[in-house]
Structure 1
Amino acid sequence: MTVSAAVDELYAAFAAVPRPPAVAHCPCCVTEAEVAALLAPVPLRELPVEAVRPYAANVPFTVGGSNDLRYFAPRVLEIGCADGFGWPGLESLAARLRHAGWADWPAAERAAVRGLLGALWDEALAGDGFDAGTVLCAAGNAEDDVAPYLARWTAAVGRPAAAEQLRDLLWHGCARDPGGRRLRNAFWDGRDAQAAAVLAWLGSDELCAAVLDAGTAGPVLADVFDAL
């Protein structure tokens, strides 16, 4: 599924959620005028980025919560998928979903969110959109289990774009400390189990075997094999 199709499915899955009559907010973080712009009586998909950004940057901590995020989630995620906010970025938006309790939302809504994450992941492994390290970190902030994402990367490692993304993660997304390898992206902080799963995968026999099976004659896979 493409990201565009996944966004359409988001809007369909959340279509029955009504526009909230009000959004609780800290006046130091979001002004009354910004809340009024957010609640403007226009179709959700037509809300401009400028109207959504203050909400997206603060939900669910000092603005809004799970119930109103269910209404705004399709637009927030649509903009975030295009990196339209600047801030908050994809990893931050994924973490906000988790803090808002998206795992307890209705099944169709959860499936639509996972469908979008999966589409972003497929796009990243194909060398389009966000880099794989960013999408994986976003998935690790939204989901407790990153194994399905890692399995898809293992299966795709013979493809040039996926191999290049893996080399980029190994060269630039990881650091080696005296205690071993760590992930550089600060949004892994507080997601220790998910980060540990990624690091274990990078050191796994399964990934090493997949790289060997794909062949190390090419320079990218040779670099990957050397960095594992």
Structure 2
Amino acid sequence: MSGWEASKRRMYDVFGHVPRPERMDGCPHCVEPDEERCLLAGPVESVRAEALARYAAKALTTWGGVAELRYFLPRLLECAATDAFGYPDPEIVLGKLAAADWLAWPVDERDAVTEFLRDWWQETLLHYPAHPPPDTVLCALASTGMDLTPCLTAWGRLDTDATITHLYDFVLTGMSDRRLTNAFWNRGDPAYRQVLAWLTGGPAAAAVEAAFARQTSEPMLELLAAVQPALLPPDRR
């Protein structure tokens, strides 16, 4: 079992004590009476993504509260991590965690969620192409309010072709004029500043320089050379 699969299993185990809701109150203009029946008919692990998507979009705003979110959370995160909903986007789904103040939940629940999210990031870096791509995943993780330092550190190793190619793609499509382009980024959020500082303030450029010294693949060297100018701090350009 991979680390990501193990962390997914742990999340289901940790949140398994959360009682199944008897019903889920929602805005009468947004949610049909008894619409939750298909979501509560069986184990949470077996809820179909297409059935859960509507709840995922409306959770905490017009359908249900924190108790319901905690019950569905393992399945919600599992579906978001594989982009199984189509809509809502992973950034929207993971933003529900911040809205539910998850960092104040019991320590075992916080640890289980954190482990899953970090392993999702590791799984993303491991494969190229990845779906969802790192641009989406990193923005989604940022929306939770979690510390992104371990994620950026892992990326900065640039020790595989996949991590180098992901960085190349991110610089081409996820940045413009030293800004992050994903529409879900909150430019006033500390996570936005953290990621931008890592990319353009020196750490990513240093990682590229270190990768140059040990890389022997000509295609990877070309990608590193292509991204380096965009990552250099202003005083080194």
TM-score (norm: length of structure 1): 0.90
- Whole-angstrom distance in 2 between the partners of 1:191 and 1:51: 34
Give the number of aligned pairs: 222
Deviation per CA, 1:131-167: give whole Å up to 9, x if none: 1111110111012422221111112x23211111111
Sort the Cα spacing of 1:102 and 1:48 in 2 relative to 1 into closer, same or farther, 3 A: same
- Whole-angstrom distance in 2 between the partners of 1:22 and 1:210: 51
TM-score (norm: length of structure 2): 0.87
- Whole-angstrom distance in 2 between the partners of 1:208 and 1:84: 34
Sort the Cα spacing of 1:29 and 1:112 in 2 relative to 1 into closer, same or farther, 3 A: same
Q: Which residue in 2 is equivalent to 1:14? A: 15
Structure 1 stretches of 4+ with a deviation exceeding 3 A read none
- Whole-angstrom distance in 1 between the partners of 2:155 and 2:163: 7
Which amino acid in the other structure matches residue 207 of structure 1? A
Q: Does 1:192 align with 2:195?
A: no
Sort the Cα spacing of 1:192 and 1:109 in 2 relative to 1 into closer, same or farther, 3 A: same
Q: Which residue in 2 is equivalent to 1:143? A: 145
Q: Which residue in 2 is equivalent to 1:205? A: 202
User: Are the equivalent residues in 1 in contact too, given 2:187–2:193 (CA < 8 A)?
Assistant: no
Q: Which residue in 2 is equivalent to 1:122? A: 122
User: Are the equivalent residues in 2 in contact too, given 1:158–1:214 (CA < 8 A)?
Assistant: yes
Measured after TM superposition, the shift of residue 182 of structure 1 is 1.0
Deviation per CA, 1:43-68: give whole Å up to 9, x if none: 11122223312111111111111111
User: Are the equivalent residues in 2 in contact too, given 1:171–1:227 (CA < 8 A)?
Assistant: no
- What does residue range 40-59 of structure 1 map to in structure 2 within 5 Å? 40=41, 42-59=42-59
- Whole-angstrom distance in 2 between the partners of 1:47 and 1:162: 33
Q: Does 1:225 align with 2:228?
A: yes
Measured after TM superposition, the shift of residue 117 of structure 1 is 0.9
Q: Which residue in 1 is equivalent to 2:234? A: none
Measured after TM superposition, the shift of residue 195 of structure 1 is 0.8
SS at match of 2:17: coil
Measured after TM superposition, the shift of residue 191 of structure 1 is 5.1
Deviation per CA, 1:157-208: give whole Å up to 9, x if none: 23211111111111110111xxxx1111111126522111111111233322
Deviation per CA, 1:24-80: give whole Å up to 9, x if none: 21122221242222222x111122223312111111111111111111101111222
- Whole-angstrom distance in 2 between the partners of 1:222 and 1:27: 56
Q: Which runs of 5+ in 2 are unaligned?
A: 232-237
Q: Does 1:134 align with 2:131?
A: no
Measured after TM superposition, the shift of residue 11 of structure 1 is 0.4
- What does residue range 51-200 of structure 1 map to in structure 2 within 5 Å? 51-127=51-127, 128-155=130-157, 157-176=158-177, 181-189=178-186, 192-200=189-197
- Whole-angstrom distance in 2 between the partners of 1:139 and 1:101: 14
Which amino acid in the other structure matches residue 79 of structure 2? I
For the aligned residues, what is the CA RMSD? 1.7
User: Are the equivalent residues in 1 in contact too, given 2:94–2:144 (CA < 8 A)?
Assistant: yes
What percentage of residue pairs aligned between the two structures are identical? 38
Deviation per CA, 1:100-142: give whole Å up to 9, x if none: 1211221111111111111111111112442111111011101
